[in-house]
Chain A
Amino acid sequence: MSHHDADRQLEEFVHRVLRNQPMRQAPAQLADRVLARIEQRTAKAWWQAGFNAWPMPARVLFVTISIAICALALEVSATLFEVLSAQVPLTLARSIALWQAMSTAVESLAKGIPVQWIYAVGGIIAALYASFFALSAAAYRTLYQNR
């Protein structure tokens, strides 16, 4: 018998065995679970269901109102920006000055750190990340996969 014929016979044998298998019995509580879930869903108000289940007029109204709110928000923010940019408040000016001072401080500090240190810290972070990943994989294989 050729290798191909043997494979073919094996395939047919397994196919017959599997297709002769009876169906599994569904759990007794399945029907009750489904009915309870359907009752739960029908008891909800229409607006508590997903957007696709809303009535068409409600969907159209919702989309229209959403567009109107977006347009209004854009209009109001543009107006506010115009008004505020005309006279920059004192607090904003102070915040910008503080930010600039902090940036300068961080920049001068960063210049003082040797580049080898930065590489070392990067390497340590990468090693810790890899260790954590390996530990997770080992824990999964030990505790979960073999159950």
Chain B
Amino acid sequence: MRAHQNLVFTTAVRIVANDAQAEDIAQEVFIKAYENFDSLRASETAGAWLRTVARNLSLNYATRYRRRWRFFSEVHDRNEDDDLDFEATLEGVESPSSDAAQFRQSEVIEEALRALPEKQRLPLVLFHFEDMSYEEIAQHLGVSLAKVKVDIHRARAALARVLARHGITPDEVTPS
């Protein structure tokens, strides 16, 4: 369990963007793993299984929560305001300039992701971290394909602006 707990927690926290909820989801994932212990013990793909379960549970949570509050939070289109709010929340984050530059860079990116509006952050995370296609994201979130593409594009543009302000440019990032 300890070998996979960071993977499971990271998957959950990136989707739900809340540490406490991600911890609850991680707990549920490991209890499911315990229930399927006999088949997982010998499996070489236990890590992938855990990640898939973590992703599905997190998505269930995120979409259920989203539906519940959709009326209250998404009545008006906040695209322009969202971008302004998003950049305003990051003004206090310092640029990486010391030995801890790498750590700070990660922090800046995490902070930037969290500050994105929910409707942009979730599809972006699913696309880039979970390798889901636009079509799969649209299906899971119950929105149109065009909206998914627009939201992801806006999220990327907003992220890139903040990263550029903190000195993170395409030249500085090496391919993974």
Contact = CB atoms under 8 A, between A and B. Distances in A.
A14 interface: yes
B73 A145 contact: yes
B23 interface: yes
B7 interface: yes
Interface string A1-27: 000000101110111111111111111
A140 B72 contact: yes
B157 A30 contact: no
A59 interface: no
Contacts of B73: 140-141, 145
Interface residues of A, number: 31
Given A9-B170, A21-B106, A21-B110, A14 B128 contact: yes
Interface in A115-147: 136-137, 140-141, 145
Shortest 8 CB-CB contacts between residues of A and residues of B = A26-B9, A26-B5, A23-B10, A19-B176, A24-B10, A34-B30, A18-B128, A13-B170
Interface of A: 7, 9-11, 13-27, 30-31, 33-34, 37-38, 41, 136-137, 140-141, 145
Interface of B: 1-2, 5-10, 13-14, 19, 23, 26-27, 30-31, 34, 69, 71-73, 75, 106, 109-110, 113, 124, 128-129, 153, 156-157, 159-160, 163, 168, 170, 173-176
